[in-house]
A and B are shown apart, each in its own frame.
Chain A
Amino acid sequence: MILEHTKKRVAAVLESVEGLKQSEFPYSHSRIAAELIETKFKKLQTIIEKVSPGTSSSLVLNTCRTAFEQLFTYVPFLGFILRSTNVRNAFEVYPPLLRLAKSILGTDMKLVVSSEWDYSPYVYPLIQDLPGFVLIGLPAPESANPLLLPLAGHELGHSVWVSQPFSVDYERQIHDLVLQEITEKRWNEYKDLYPGFTKEHYLNNDIVARPIWLTAYTWALLQTEEIFCDFFGIRLFSESYLHAFEYLLSPGFAGIRSVRYPNIARRVSYFTKAAEEMEAVVPENFTESFIAENEPQEPMTNLLVSTADAVSGTLITKLIELIQEFAKRKNILLKDVNKVAEVREGLNKVIPTAKAYSLTDILNAGWECYLDPHLWENVSQIKKEDRDRVLKDLILKSLEVSEAYERLRAAYDY
């Protein structure tokens, strides 16, 4: 019966994809993503069809479990793709964001911009599941807010991390640092909590000791990737990334911190360090905008996560250098204060840009206006309650105008 259920569940997904493909896609990458998932489920269907009545029950169970895992992995992607067609999204942001992403990840990359009914910037920890795709989503109520576009920098960071060979070097470094932390710096704590193991068990690859340090290793690796992505966001979008982060995620929840990120106090202190190195200005009272999180009380989890924290913390300077070098190699421009001022001058006069500016310059100018309490005080036609809406529209229009100029520049090469 379980096999029949599995077959029907997979068929139902394929039917949903078929329906999804009939949607009116604003750009082709959403459709391509849907087709890729369709291919995966057709393959899964073929594999399931190979199971015969004589197949052992353990093998049937294994096949059904694999199918089950695939459903959990890919069905949320389908929802994400469907929502990318919704007019609540600001389609104006897509072309400049795609242009930026291609300049970083190569012209073959695919981008899907969508929204999520979950109040956090969308994070796909298993971005490897759709190779070559970058998926960027914001909470649905904010999905048309261009001021939050800098958070896309974090998501682009994930794609850079998984696609670049340096992530493999970091895996090795983290492996060594975790073992060093356990056997040298924190040995007494580990000895007390795991009394059956000697240092040699950890250092000599004992398979019973591996699950202990592998947990700390995995968390340290995930934390390092998240820190990299935050720094990448700052490097791409300067302080507008910090403003967007504060807007969407402050003050955070009180309670136990997530193990896959540094705790918020550390994360914010890392932001500050990276911002200093990347010519970004940290917003006033930025640190105070976030509520401190609690560490896990359970002693083993506490020890393992503090090991991961220590390891990821030692890599901060290297990560900043890595991103600076990567950005230089990819010709990613820093925010240009003069151009930000030019865009801002136009916005102050309720005029969108009239020539090509980088996404970073437009968004930083937008944030400066948003944070200016005196913006349009003397413009009687704009009521105070309409200010944000008008500003967002102007930013979106500026993005469109800039994109038009970029295309003309490409066409006429001027």
Chain B
Amino acid sequence: MACVEKDIVGNKALRVLDPDLPLLATEAAIDIDNMLSNRSKDVTAIHKLAELLKNSVKVNSAGPPHSLMDPATLTILTEAVAHAAGGKNEMEELLSEAVKIGTSLSSEDPMKNPKELKRAMEFCIALAAAVAAYRKSIRDLRPMHPFRK
């Protein structure tokens, strides 16, 4: 299964304007919820999102992880991580949290750590919300007709 997912995502990293991202984050959140409630065990979307995360943060064994994302995507991601991780607001801490969430999502048996999985679900929900808000903010910059309210 992991191989198939790799083919789909490839080396794609997180991009806030990726049209598939809101759906993927939403689907992953639902799949986690269903898994936590023993309703299903579908990990396809969860693993796809994990792969995107993995391709977006470079992990250094010697130092803190660093971002491979554009500034807008990084802001959206850290906002979502901060929502799930609560109380952290340093960039390095948040990226480390993102790596942890990614690891939790990419597990072959995510149910091994239900607490981490619940946190990953919160992250997915926050990510979908932040992406939607950012996309709307860009759409709203389009000049409106002067008589349209």
By a beta-carbon cutoff of 8 Å, the part of chain A in contact with chain B is 40, 43-44, 47, 50-52, 54-56, 58-59, 62-63, 65-66, 69-70, 72-73, 118-120, 123, 125-126, 128-131, 168, 171, 175, 204-208, 210-211, 214, 217-219, 222, 253, 255, 258-261
Contact = CB atoms under 8 A, between A and B. Distances in A.
A168 B17 CA distance: 13
Interface string B91-108: 100100000000000000
22 contacts: A43-B23, A47-B23, A50-B34, A59-B30, A63-B26, A65-B132, A66-B23, A66-B128, A69-B22, A73-B135, A120-B143, A125-B142, A126-B138, A168-B70, A205-B91, A207-B78, A207-B82, A214-B71, A219-B141, A222-B138, A222-B141, A260-B142
Interface string B17-42: 11100110111011101100101100
A208 B22 contact: no
B89 A207 contact: yes
Interface in B60-116: 70-72, 75, 78-79, 82, 89-91, 94
Q: Which of A43, A69, A70, A222 has the most CB of B within 10 A?
A: A69
Given A47-B26, A66-B23, A207-B78, A119 B139 contact: no
Given A66-B128, A128-B18, A217-B72, A47 B136 contact: no
A44 B141 contact: no
Interface of B: 15, 17-19, 22-23, 25-27, 29-31, 33-34, 37, 39-40, 70-72, 75, 78-79, 82, 89-91, 94, 121, 125, 128-129, 132, 135-139, 141-143, 145-146
B72 A214 contact: yes
Given A50-B34, A54-B37, A69-B135, A171 B71 contact: yes
A184 to B, nearest CB: 18
A283 to B, nearest CB: 23
B27 A50 contact: yes
Contacts of A129: 19
A43 B24 CA distance: 10
A217 B79 CA distance: 17
Contacts of A120: 143
A107 B145 CA distance: 35
Contact of B33 (A59, A210, A260): A59
Contacts of A207: 75, 78-79, 82, 89-91, 94
